[in-house]
């Protein structure tokens, strides 16, 4: 639910705006639970009325019932006072329950919306955003909002209603004493405004510091093995402490302002009571008919002042809560304002009947605006059912090809057209979900979820997750069924990131994902680089069966996986410098022959390859 309106942003990318503007933007999420919100709002006038009624009953008891010695009337007044207390208690309880229920339901909807939105963000967003930052926005920022919805905004509305009802009662009783009692109101306004501005800035700094520290923690835990191997634990702890000091300084300052505001409010309250007694006391010794001031009236005013300053005093704590929520909202809005990919298209599938033909012309691509191009005007074709390999040194642009063909990254220049029956279709014109139904990529770095084998193959896809026979067939195709069956079958839990499997077994599950979906074009980004020679032999045999009649783009970092390709493209600094079959390129003695000689030597040294034909001299 990203807001299309442009908003100014702070240094951390969080949009800046007024508190109420931020809360108004939050309303669409709360609207679905307005029934409970209305119940909470309807309780506000009840709470306010009962709060204003109780001092009036005290005045009635002192000035009338006790003064006249009317015991029955005094007891009636006492019963009415008890009824007012019970009514206020019940109304407050109903309000807290209704608002808490609405608040937590709204937060659940927001959390779901954030998660769904984050999953649709392009790869470039993740290139510049630490995962810890995303976790902070999805957890601690959401919790700050939850606290505010339950005990912040709507309870402040109740406090405002209580204050207004008390002021009306005070003016109705004696306008002179009311003005005396409120003499410190201008000072109070200045104090609250100053503290409010500082608290908001501090709460935003707290969120920033917490996000940075969370991101650092997530990164260090992910690389804990490296830290331990190189003995960097102490340095990591020191850096974590340094980042924590920033957070602690902001929290201490915010607490100082919060405590200071509370103390100042308490002092102003006592000062107003003192002013009231000082100016009202002389009237108690005058004729009541002339002065209009009675002991019961003084009791009522003191009670009113204590009541009116309780919500004002607590307003400081609620204000701090709201400031935390607004800071969290601004960070959440900056996330929701990130433009997502247009994942789902409308109408017919433009690639219906596509057999895998691909034509690339003058393809240019860079990862960041202003950065040098990674691909610099390359041209090549893939015929239906053809296996094309791409080789080159590290940084030559091989992996970028796969990312463009799957629309993991957009923004290429030139043409990448899929030769569909109805005519050429540009990759940029096919929505990602549709494109990825025809084009799949198996990457070198396999990611497995902490779930069972069935989920890691199906990924919960409707029609596949509930078809164990199809999943089993895919596992058999890639020769993974034997080890899966030995470990308990499809319900075997692979562990976090596949820790219960070897690297080769994890790679086979990644192939099973593809085998279960039968793509038209398959991209292998050095999918056998992390497996041993025995497992690689099994995988190669499975791949040959899986890819018969399909177009394949093999992005290779080592040359043992490309010898059987129909055509080999040799990339160097983003340009295709050679292309052709293995034997032809080898005979030329050019860049491919040099890469082959280096790669062959490395594999021989590692014992991963047998003897190969010698490379002809250049």
Return the percentage of the chain with pLDDT > 90, whole number: 6
Report pLDDT for 87. Answer: 93
Give the span between the Cα atoms of 81 and 100, in whole angstroms: 28
Greater model confidence, 201 or 243: 243
| Beta carbons within 10 angstroms of residue 564's beta carbon | 13
Between the CA atoms of 266, 271, 276 and 281, what dihedral angle is there, to the nearest 10 degrees? 120
Q: Is the per-residue pLDDT at 80 higher than 90?
A: yes
Distance in Å from the first CA to the final CA of the chain: 61
Query: How buried is 402 (Cβ within 10 angstroms: 0-12 exposed, 13-18 middle, 19+ buried)?
Result: buried
Q: Is the per-residue pLDDT at 433 higher than 70?
A: yes
Greater model confidence, 492 or 557: 492
52 with 45: CB under 8 angstroms? no
Q: Is the per-residue pLDDT at 434 higher than 80?
A: yes
Q: Is the per-residue pLDDT at 594 higher than 50?
A: yes
- At the fourth CATH level, the homologous superfamily of domain 19-336 is ABC transporter type 1, transmembrane domain (1.20.1560.10)
567-572/575-580 β-pairing: antiparallel
Q: Is the per-residue pLDDT at 420 higher than 60?
A: yes
Give the span between the Cα atoms of 130 and 211, in whole angstroms: 9
Q: Is the per-residue pLDDT at 5 higher than 70?
A: no
Of the candidates 410, 418, 406, the residue with the CA atom closest to the CA atom of residue 352: 418
Give the span between the Cα atoms of 373 and 500, in whole angstroms: 40
pLDDT average, residue stretch 266-290: 75
Q: Is the per-residue pLDDT at 356 higher than 70?
A: yes
Of the candidates 273, 248, 264, the residue with the CA atom closest to the CA atom of residue 319: 264
Report pLDDT for 379. Answer: 92
Q: What is the pLDDT of residues 504-519, one digit of tens each?
A: 788 888 888 888 888 8
pLDDT average, residue stretch 78-94: 92
pLDDT average, residue stretch 4-26: 52
584 with 421: CB under 8 angstroms? no
- Mean pLDDT score across all residues of the chain: 79
Q: What is the pLDDT of residues 443-457, one digit of tens each?
A: 777 888 888 888 888
Report pLDDT for 599. Answer: 65
* DSSP, res 377: E
Beta bridge partners of 360: 380, 416
Greater model confidence, 347 or 339: 339
Domain 358-606, what architecture?
3-Layer(aba) Sandwich (3.40)
Beta bridge partners of 575: 572
Kindly list the domain boundaries of the chain, sorted by start residue: 19-336, 358-606
CB neighbour list of residue 614: distance below 8 Å, 6 or more residues apart: none
Q: Strands across the sheet with 423-426, in order? A: 375-382, 358-365, 413-420, 423-426
Provide the angle, in degrees to the nearest 10, between the axes of the packed helices 140-151 and 153-173.
30
Give the span between the Cα atoms of 556 and 262, in whole angstroms: 66
Report pLDDT for 493. Answer: 86
| Selection from 147-151, 282-286, 289-293 with the highest mean pLDDT | 282-286
Q: 17 — phi, psi (to 5°)?
A: -165, 180
Assign 148 a pLDDT band (cuts: 50, 70, 90): low
Q: Is the per-residue pLDDT at 604 higher than 60?
A: no
Q: Is the per-residue pLDDT at 337 higher than 70?
A: yes
pLDDT average, residue stretch 390-397: 82
Which of 30-34, 188-192, 534-538 is predicted with the least confidence, judged by mean pLDDT?
534-538
Of the candidates 160, 181, 159, the residue with the CA atom closest to the CA atom of residue 170: 181
Q: Is the per-residue pLDDT at 130 higher than 80?
A: no
pLDDT average, residue stretch 137-146: 73
193 with 362: CB under 8 angstroms? no
Give the span between the Cα atoms of 122 and 138, in whole angstroms: 18
Provide the angle, in degrees to the nearest 10, between the axes of the packed helices 295-336 and 71-119.
10
pLDDT average, residue stretch 165-171: 87
Q: Is the per-residue pLDDT at 606 higher than 80?
A: no
Q: Is the per-residue pLDDT at 611 higher than 60?
A: no
Question: Strand, coil or helix: what is 495?
Answer: coil
pLDDT average, residue stretch 18-25: 68
Total residue count of the chain as it appears in this document = 618
| Beta carbons within 10 angstroms of residue 549's beta carbon | 8
């Amino acid at each position: 639910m990203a807001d299309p309106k442009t908003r100014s942003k702070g240094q951390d990318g969080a949009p800046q705006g007024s508190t109420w503007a931020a809360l108004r933007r939050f309303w669409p999420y709360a609207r679905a639970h307005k029934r409970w919100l209305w119940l909470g709002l309807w309780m506000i006038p009840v709470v306010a009325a009962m709060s204003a009624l109780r001092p009036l009953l005290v005045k009635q008891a002192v000035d009338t019932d006790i003064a006249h010695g009317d015991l029955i009337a005094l007891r009636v007044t006492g019963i009415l006072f008890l009824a007012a207390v019970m009514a206020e208690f019940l109304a407050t309880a109903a309000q807290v329950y209704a608002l808490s229920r609405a608040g937590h339901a709204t937060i659940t909807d927001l959390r779901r919306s954030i998660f769904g939105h984050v999953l649709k963000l392009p790869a470039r967003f993740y290139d510049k955003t630490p995962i810890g930052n995303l976790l902070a926005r999805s957890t601690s920022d959401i919790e700050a909002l939850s606290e505010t919805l339950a005990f912040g905004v709507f309870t402040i509305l109740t406090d405002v209603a209580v204050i207004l009802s008390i002021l009306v009662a005070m003016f109705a009783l004696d306008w002179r004493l009311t003005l005396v009692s409120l003499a410190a109101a201008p000072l109070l306004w200045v104090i609250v405004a100053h503290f409010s501005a500082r608290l908001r800035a501090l709460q935003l700094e707290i969120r920033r510091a917490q996000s940075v520290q969370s991101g650092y923690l997530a990164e260090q835990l992910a690389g804990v093995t490296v830290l331990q191997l190189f003995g960097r634990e102490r340095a990591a702890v020191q850096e974590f402490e340094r980042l924590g000091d920033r957070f602690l300084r902001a929290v201490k300052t915010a607490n100082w302002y919060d405590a200071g505001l509370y103390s100042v409010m308490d002092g102003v309250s006592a000062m107003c009571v003192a002013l009231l007694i000082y100016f009202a006391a002389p009237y108690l010794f005058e004729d009541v008919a002339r002065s209009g001031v009675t002991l019961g009236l003084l009791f009522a005013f003191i009670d009113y002042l204590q009541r009116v300053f309780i919500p004002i005093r607590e307003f400081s704590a609620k204000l701090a809560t709201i400031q935390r929520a607004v800071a969290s909202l601004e960070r959440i809005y900056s996330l929701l304002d990130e433009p997502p990919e247009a994942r789902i298209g409308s109408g017919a599938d433009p690639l219906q009947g596509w057999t895998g033909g691909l034509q690339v012309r003058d393809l240019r691509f860079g990862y960041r605006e202003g950065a040098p191009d990674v691909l610099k005007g390359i041209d090549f074709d893939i015929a239906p059912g053809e296996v094309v390999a791409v080789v080159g040194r590290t940084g030559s642009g091989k992996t970028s090809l796969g990312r463009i063909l799957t629309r993991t990254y957009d923004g290429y220049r030139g043409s990448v057209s899929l030769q569909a029956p109805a005519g050429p279709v540009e990759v940029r014109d096919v929505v990602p979900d549709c494109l990825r139904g025809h084009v799949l990529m198996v990457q070198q770095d396999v990611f497995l979820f902490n779930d069972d084998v069935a989920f890691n193959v199906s990924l919960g896809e409707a029609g596949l997750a509930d078809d164990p026979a199809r999943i089993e067939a895919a596992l058999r195709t890639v020769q993974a069924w034997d080890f899966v069956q030995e470990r308990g079958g499809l319900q075997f839990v692979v562990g976090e990131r596949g820790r219960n499997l070897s690297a080769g077994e994890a790679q086979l599950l990644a192939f099973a994902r593809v085998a279960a979906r039968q793509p038209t074009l398959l991209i292998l980004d050095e999918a056998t680089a992390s497996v041993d020679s025995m497992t690689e032999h099994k995988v190669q045999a499975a791949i040959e069966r899986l890819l018969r009649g399909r177009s394949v783009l093999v992005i290779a970092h080592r040359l043992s996986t490309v010898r059987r390709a129909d055509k080999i493209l040799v990339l160097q600094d983003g340009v295709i410098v050679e292309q052709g079959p293995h034997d032809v390129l080898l005979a030329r003695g050019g860049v491919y022959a040099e890469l082959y000689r280096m790669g062959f030597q490395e594999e021989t040294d590692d014992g991963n390859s047998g003897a190969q034909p010698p490379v002809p001299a250049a």
